[in-house]
Chain A
Amino acid sequence: KAGVTQTPRYLIKTRGQQVTLSCSPISGHRSVSWYQQTPGQGLQFLFEYFSETQRNKGNFPGRFSGRQFSNSRSEMNVSTLELGDSALYLCASSLGGARYNEQFFGPGTRLTVL
Chain B
Amino acid sequence: EDQVTQSPEALRLQEGESSSLNCSYTVSGLRGLFWYRQDPGKGPEFLFTLYSAGEEKEKERLKATLTKKESFLHITAPKPEDSATYLCAPKPDSWGKLQFGAGTQVVVTP
On A, residues with C-beta under 8 Å from B are 4, 31, 33, 35, 42-43, 45, 47-50, 55-56, 58, 88, 90, 92, 94, 96, 99-100, 102-108, 110
**Across the two chains, which residue of chain B brings its CB closest to A50?**
B95
A45 near B99 with CB under 8 A, answer yes
How does the 8 Å CB contact mask read for B22-51 relative to A, with 1 for contact and 0 for none? 000000000110101000011111100100
A33 near B96 with CB under 8 A, answer yes
CB distance from B18 to the nearest CB of A (A): 27
Task: Give every chain A residue within 8 A of B43 (Cβ-Cβ).
Answer: 4, 90, 92, 105-108
Report the bound CA distance from A99 to B96 in whole Å: 7
B42 near A42 with CB under 8 A, answer no
25 pairs from A and B in contact (CB 8 Å cutoff): A4-B43, A33-B96, A33-B97, A42-B103, A43-B44, A43-B87, A43-B98, A45-B97, A45-B98, A45-B99, A48-B96, A56-B94, A88-B41, A90-B43, A90-B44, A99-B91, A99-B92, A100-B92, A102-B34, A102-B46, A102-B49, A103-B34, A105-B36, A107-B43, A110-B41
Q: How large is the interface on B (under 10, 10 to 19, 20 to 34, 35 or more residues)?
A: 20 to 34
Partner of A103, one of B46, B94, B103: B46
Which secondary structure dominates where chain B touches chain A?
Answer: loop
CB distance from A10 to the nearest CB of B (A): 10
B95 near A42 with CB under 8 A, answer no
**Known A56-B96, A105-B36; 19 more pairs at CB < 8 Å:** A4-B43, A31-B95, A33-B96, A35-B98, A42-B103, A43-B98, A45-B96, A48-B95, A48-B97, A55-B95, A88-B41, A92-B98, A94-B96, A100-B31, A100-B92, A102-B34, A103-B46, A106-B43, A107-B43
CB distance from A105 to the nearest CB of B (A): 3
A99 near B42 with CB under 8 A, answer no
CB distance from A12 to the nearest CB of B (A): 16
